[in-house]
A and B are shown apart, each in its own frame.
Chain A
Amino acid sequence: MTILHHLDDATVMRYASGDLDEAFAAVVTSHLAMCPECRRAARLAEAVGGELIEACEPASLPAGAFERMMSQIGEIGRPDAPPPKQVARTVAGDVPAPLQRYVGNSLDAIAWRHIAPGVRKHDIALGSKSTGKLYLLNIAPGRAVPEHGHGGSEMTLVLSGAYRDELGRFAAGDIADLDEHVEHQPCVDPDASCICLVATEAPTRFKGVLSRLLQPVFGI
């Protein structure tokens, strides 16, 4: 997989500082799971956090804070028991690991809802504090999605297939990390449908009369 479109550096910093809503965090971490280059970028940004903690003037702790914590750790597990081995997961399937808790591990098993000719959608439920929306889109080969601008920021990660728009061609692993004023009209490659993971901050506003008619149907 050759990834051509990566995270914006400002997004990498947002990610590292913890400033991403669950919807956007899911898209960013899914891209990270697919992209070694952005993983390195994220680690560098997280090193900033590490150095900022190092630079903090130490606060005072009550005497015996360490012993108290260790005895509580002991109460939860057996006293003096080693922590349970955390086994890192190795991931199979065509769904990026951070997305698997939301949609399972196979794109074939997703339950799609028909929302417009050639366009199917799968909404993903998030925690109650999330203000963003997260969903999968499955767009048929050769389909163009109506031209639209964004009411807020939007991130689209291609999971399979490919589409093309003003910004170039986006294939599996590519992420479109868009600011609010970008307008684009994605068109899916003719040979295969395109499945994308999308996070949006605010409702997308379609341009044009036909598009505006479609919007209620689209619900995106």
Chain B
Amino acid sequence: MLAALSSFRPAGQDGTERMADIHKDLMARVAADRDREAFRELFEHFAPRIKAWLMKSGADHALAEDLMQDVMTSVWRKIDLYKPENGSASTWIFTIARNIRIDRLRRASSRPYTDIETLDMPSDEADGEETTFATQRATIVAAALSELPVEQREVIELSFNQDLAQSEIAQRLDVPLGTVKSRMRLAYSKLKSSLEALQ
């Protein structure tokens, strides 16, 4: 599998993958030594993006900054739960931000979401190259996202970035709920097949 993956390096994606690798190393330094300088670098990259992301979900500047602080504080506190073989740093940080958005922006309960993260489960990836694979997955997902048809990209952004429920997206776009779901399924299966093409 890895041989196939290594040969897949379109020129434009080197940057994404290099960045994902740098973040992985920074995360490892924070986890191993509570390295504040490494954490500062992660903060400088992620904090402004998390704030921007929270503003897309409807938070104003002050609230977005406040919630961003919560997110980055959790990254620092929960760093031992990060398993690089399960995904890139950005994926893990997204899940923390998502859970905080559920709790504090939507004021609902993220309990099931947070509980499953503390589970000690064996890695689901098959071989010893899984950590490399997780970083490459980030690259592939980024590429696949940019190639989605506009209408699929739209439902993904409305749900992930703007925090709209699928039923709200249906209203917003004036299409049946089933259409939103099928766009989601199509987008997901494209992502999945671009990953599987490499395995």
Interface pair A83/B189, CB less than 8 Å apart:
no
| B interface, size bucket | 35 or more
Per-position 1/0 for B82-94, Cβ under 8 A of A = 0000111111111
Given that A26-B112, A86-B78, A98-B112 are known contacts, is A13 also in contact with B55, CB under 8 Å in the complex?
Answer: no
Assess the B44–A47 pair: CB atoms within 8 A. Answer: no
Asked if A97 contacts B115 (CB within 8 A), the reply is yes
Given A14-B166, A50-B91, A56-B53, also A83-B116 (CB < 8 A): no
Q: Across the interface, which residues of A come within 8 angstroms of B27, CB to CB? A: none
Say if the beta carbon of B63 comes within 8 Å of chain A. Answer: no
> In this assembly, does A19 line the interface, its C-beta being within 8 Å of a C-beta of chain B?
yes
Take A22-B109, A57-B52, A82-B34 as given contacts and tell me if A13 and B188 are in contact as well, using a CB distance cutoff of 8 Å. yes
- A202–B166 alpha-carbon span in the complex (Å): 16
In the complex with contacts A19-B166, A61-B47, A86-B78, A47-B52 CB distance below 8 A: no
Do the beta carbons of B112 and A69 come within 8 Å of each other? no
A101 CB contact (under 8 Å) in B115, B138, B182, B187: B115
One of A114-122, A124-132, A143-151, A187-195 at the interface: A124-132
| Inter-chain contacts of B64 with A (CB < 8 A) | 59
Interface of A: prevailing SS: helix
CB distance from B34 to the nearest CB of A (A): 4
Cβ distance B176 to chain A, nearest Cβ, rounded Å = 12
Of A36-44, A104-112, A154-162, which stretch is located at the interface?
A36-44
Set A19, A39, A101: member contacting B111, Cβ < 8 A? A101
Beta-carbon contacts under 8 Å, B72-108 to A: 72-73, 76-81, 86-95, 97-99, 101-102, 106-108
Q: How far is the CA of A87 from the CA of B78 in the complex (A)?
A: 10
A32 to B141 alpha-carbon distance, docked (Å) = 21
In the complex, chain A residues whose CB is within 8 Å of the CB of B79 = 83
CB distance from B164 to the nearest CB of A (A): 8
Categorize the interface residue count of chain A. Answer: 35 or more
Q: Are A40 and B124 in contact (CB under 8 A)?
A: yes
A198 at the interface (CB under 8 A from B): no
Selected contact of A86 from candidates B48, B80, B124, B189, CB within 8 Å:
B80
Structural contact, A59 and B161, CB atoms closer than 8 A? no
A18 and chain B: residue at smallest CB distance:
B98
Q: Which of A17, A46, A56, A69 has the most CB of B within 10 A?
A: A17
Instruction: Say yes or no for A182: interface residue by CB 8 A criterion.
Output: no
Q: Specify which chain A residues have a CB less than 8 angstroms from the CB of B171 in the assembled complex.
A: none
CB–CB B109/A46 < 8 A: no
Instruction: Output the nearest chain B residue to A66 by Cβ-Cβ distance.
Output: B43
- B94 partner, pick from A44, A53, A60, A84, beta carbons under 8 A: A53
Q: Is B175 an interface residue (CB 8 A)?
A: no
Q: Lowest 3 A-B CB distances belong to which pairs? A: A58-B48, A50-B91, A50-B90
Which residue numbers of A lie inside 8 Å of B, CB to CB?
8-10, 12-14, 16-19, 21-22, 25-26, 28-30, 32-33, 36, 39-41, 43-62, 65-66, 69-70, 72-73, 82-91, 97-98, 100-101, 126-127, 129-130, 179
Given A17-B163, A19-B164, A22-B111, 10 extra CB contacts under 8 A: A8-B181, A29-B116, A40-B124, A47-B138, A52-B156, A53-B53, A54-B16, A56-B161, A61-B68, A129-B107
9 contacts between A and B (CB under 8 A): A19-B164, A25-B110, A30-B112, A33-B116, A65-B43, A66-B43, A69-B69, A83-B80, A129-B108
Which residues does B use to contact A, with CB under 8 Å? 16, 19, 34, 36, 40, 43-44, 46-53, 55-56, 61, 64-65, 68-69, 72-73, 76-81, 86-95, 97-99, 101-102, 106-113, 115-116, 118-121, 124-125, 137-138, 141-142, 145, 156-157, 159-161, 163-166, 178, 181-182, 184-185, 187-189, 191-192, 195
